[in-house]
């Protein structure tokens, strides 16, 4: 597969995972509502950001960040992805993270921070699972795919015979 095709596929997967959860289920309230609406989502984002700043794996990444700005932007994408009405994120997730050369361990650390924030806010297992699925969908836009374990699973040459 060509590089361009791959990134197109990654973008489509991301759009699908963000967009799919944005559409309100006919049967019930959106994930955004089930997380407590704006107040709930902002609290989860604030707790997540705090967790990043004390997580040894990623805290240095945020040393020079404007906390209020990043929290606002993350609230926008989180709200949009969970189905908030009239909240949009107009940034370019892949373009912002690409120069950071983020690896899988860092991605997992960020996911852990989100999950810990959900638990702290007494979010039920079902909603935790839905948030986790959204985060996983964003992985191709965030992680440098040259440094994932996927690259290790296909050896360049057959292992030498003993």
Q: Nearest approach, Cβ of 51 to ligand HEM (angstroms)?
A: 12
> Contact, 30 vs 81, CB < 8 A?
no
Least distance from ligand HEM to the Cβ atom of residue 142, Å: 5
**Whole-number Å distance between alpha carbons of 57 and 51:** 11
Nearer to ligand HEM, 9 or 96 (CB): 96
Residues 6+ positions from 11 with CB-CB distance below 8 Å? 94, 141
Decide: 22 and 134 in contact? Cβ < 8 Å.
Answer: no
Q: Return the number of other C-beta atoms located less than 10 Å from residue 122's C-beta.
A: 7
Least CB distance to ligand HEM at residue 160 (A): 36
Instruction: Please identify, using beta-carbon distances, which residue of 73 and 98 lies nearer to ligand HEM.
Output: 73
State which residue, 2 or 110, has the beta carbon closest to ligand HEM: 110
Instruction: Give Cα 99 to chain centroid, integer Å.
Output: 17
For binding to ligand HEM (CB under 6 A), which residues are involved?
Answer: 58, 61-62, 65, 70, 73-74, 77, 91, 93, 96-97, 100, 102, 106-107, 110, 135, 138, 142
Q: 84 or 142: whose CB is closer to ligand HEM?
A: 142
Q: How far apart are CA 78 and CA 74, in angstroms?
A: 6
Closest contact distance (angstroms) between CB of 88 and ligand HEM is 12
């Amino acid at each position: 597969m060509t590089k361009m095709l791959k990134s197109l596929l990654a973008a489509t997967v991301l759009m699908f995972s963000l967009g799919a959860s944005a559409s309100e289920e006919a049967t019930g309230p959106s994930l955004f509502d089930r997380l407590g609406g704006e107040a709930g989502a902002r609290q989860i984002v604030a707790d997540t950001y705090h967790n990043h700043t004390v997580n040894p794996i990623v805290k240095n990444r945020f040393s020079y960040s404007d906390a209020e700005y990043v929290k606002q932007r993350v609230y926008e994408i989180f709200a949009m992805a969970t189905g908030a009405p009239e909240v949009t994120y107009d940034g370019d997730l892949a373009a912002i993270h690409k120069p950071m050369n983020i690896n899988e361990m860092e991605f997992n650390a960020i996911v852990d921070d989100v999950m810990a924030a959900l638990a702290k806010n007494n979010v039920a297992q079902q909603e935790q699972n839905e948030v986790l699925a959204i985060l996983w969908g964003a992985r191709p836009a965030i992680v440098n795919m040259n440094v994932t374990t996927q690259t290790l699973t296909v050896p360049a040459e057959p292992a030498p015979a003993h």
